[in-house]
Amino acid sequence: MFIVVNKIDYIFYTIIKIQINSRTVIMSISSNTIKVWNLGKVRIYPHLEIDEFWDYAKIQTEFSEMQQKLTQLSFINYGCNNYCSEINGRWNIPFGVIIFTDEGEIHYTYMIRRDHQLKKTFCCPFYHEDYGYNRIPNKMFDRKSCPNEFEIIEKYLMDKFNGNIIDSFQC
pLDDT surpasses 70 at 19: no
The answer to whether 148 touches 72, Cβ cutoff 8 Å, is no
- Give 156 or 5, the one with higher predicted confidence: 156
Triad 167, 26, 5: Cα angle to 5° = 65
* pLDDT value at residue 133: 61
Q: Taking the mean position of all CA atoms in its chain, how far away is CA 77?
A: 16
User: What confidence score (pLDDT) does residue 1 get?
Assistant: 45
Taken in order of first residue, the domains within the chain and their CATH numbers are 1-31 (no CATH), 34-170 (3.30.310)
State the pLDDT confidence band at 139, using cuts at 50, 70 and 90: confident
Q: What CA–CA distance (Å, rounded) separates 115 from 122?
A: 8
Cα–Cα distance measured from residue 134 to residue 2, given in angstroms and rounded to the nearest whole number? 54
Residue 84, helix vs strand vs coil: coil
Instruction: Give the span between the Cα atoms of 161 and 62, in whole angstroms.
Output: 10
**Is the pLDDT confidence value at 11 over 50?**
no
In degrees rounded to 5, what are phi and psi of residue 16?
Answer: -115, 125
pLDDT band at 30 (very low <50, low <70, confident <90, very high): low
Higher pLDDT, 88 or 112: 112
pTM of the model as a whole: 0.79
